[in-house]
Amino acid sequence: MQEFIEDDPLDEEQELFEHYKFTADKGQEFLRIDKFLMDRLANTSRNKIQVAATSGNILVNKKAVKSNYKVKPFDEISIVLPYPPREIELIAEDIPLNIVYEDDDVLVINKQAGLVVHPGYGNYTGTLVNGLIYHFNNLPNGSMNNRPGLVHRLDKNTSGIMVIAKNEYAMTHLANQFFERTTERRYNALVWGDFEEDEGTVTGNVARSLKNRKVMDVFPEGDYGKHAVTHYKVLQRFGYVTLIECKLETGRTHQIRVHMKHIGHNLFNDNEYGGDKILKGTSFTKYKQFINNCFEILPRQALHAKTLGFTHPVTKKWLQFNSDLPEDMTNVLAKWEGYVANRELGES
């Protein structure tokens, strides 16, 4: 019996990979698992299956097995594989990359805001992938694929740390870490409003909005969408806005943005989720001008992927990378610090 786990094509942690599950029949004869899977996965080479096994991406009864494992009756089998390539011819472009770390297997970058990660409708050039194939040869999945090396992504207007796989072994190993949620991902976000508590958790299924398919929505009853959990902690309070840290337990599309909107704390200047207007504070002209100045300095949602931790696919050592907030966010935070200081002086 086969089950294909259908992924939302936008899911950060799942959009790049297929996830299959099988249960061996009661009459199943002992058979090497690579041959077993070859018979059940169309257009998948034995070599790709063997790479998945070597990377720990084939599980039998929730334990990783090698490609020579013999399938037995009632075995529960799961496998993670890259999606088949899309026929999009990529153009190498000299796009600057802020490289934080590099070795033979992985590349860690600090992505700038405004950079689309991979080609898609309306963005066939000028993406991170176009820059990657300019600077690096033979990234896994080939130049005719629109996502070579990618195991996760960030939104266009989100800045911060990303990891890129430089070979197929690293790609499948890292993909499994994201799927199994063993990575560590922490973001900094400036959101509207103040919090009563210093930390908390938002839980609610995330899926495309039933009213606007371009954005996501939260379905707290769990009757639609995919399970999503965001943990947050207050870092700095400014009265009308708050700087928080968000730790992802899952990685759904726009998860932080839609979860924060759901609890009434839209991200500052998030034009897709209603944060690009005054949601807290007075309506006086001077305050409006202050907010508009902030929006001009930070013409995007105030979200930065600050920390990423993962197990190196070859050395098996835990690696963790941190990045400073970009200039646009630090400048807006400085303006808010000044605004709060001046307001307190006026009240004293």
pLDDT one-digit tens code per residue, 201-244: 999 999 888 888 788 999 988 778 889 999 999 999 999 999 99
33 pLDDT more than 60: yes
Predicted local confidence at residue 91, as pLDDT: 84
Q: What is the mean pLDDT of residues 109-127?
A: 84
Q: 185-347 maps to which CATH number?
A: 3.30.2350.10
Residue 8: predicted pLDDT: 39
pLDDT at 142: 39
Phi/psi of residue 322, each to 5°? -125, 150
Domains 99-183 and 185-347 belong to one CATH topology: yes
Q: Are 190 and 260 in contact (CB under 8 A)?
A: no
Residues annotated as catalytic are: 155
Kindly state which CATH superfamily the domain 17-82 is placed in. RNA-binding S4 domain (3.10.290.10)
The per-residue pLDDT for 321 is 98
Residue 190's contacts (CB-CB under 8 Å, 6 or more residues apart) are: 241, 242, 243, 244, 267, 268, 302, 329, 332, 333
Give 42 or 291, the one with higher predicted confidence: 291
pLDDT tens digit string along 166-176? 998 898 889 88
Predicted pLDDT of residue 220: 87
Using a 10 angstrom Cβ sphere, with 0-12 exposed, 13-18 middle and 19 or more buried, the burial of residue 345 is exposed
- What the block records as the tokens of 184 is 């560590």
What per-residue confidence (pLDDT) applies to 46?
83
pLDDT at residue 292 greater than cutoff 60? yes
Q: Of 296, 230, 303, nearest to 262 (Cα)?
A: 230
- CATH number for the region 99-183 comes to 3.30.2350.10
DSSP 176-192: HHHHHT-SEEEEEEEEE
Count of CA atoms in the C-beta half-sphere (13 A) of 210: 5
What global pTM score does this model have? Answer: 0.78
- CA proximity to 197, closest of 242, 227, 229: 242
Structure tokens at 336: 């808010």
List the chain domain ranges: 17-82, 99-183, 185-347
Mean per-residue pLDDT of the chain: 87
Q: What mean pLDDT comes out for the span 84-102?
A: 82
pLDDT (average), residues 73-102: 82
Q: What is the dihedral of CA 47, 48, 49, 51, to 10 degrees?
A: 90
Q: What is the pLDDT of residue 102?
A: 97
**Helix/strand/coil percentages in the chain, nearest 5:** 20, 30, 50
pLDDT at 11 over 60: no
Supply 145's token pair: 């694929």
User: What was the pLDDT predicted at 346?
Assistant: 60
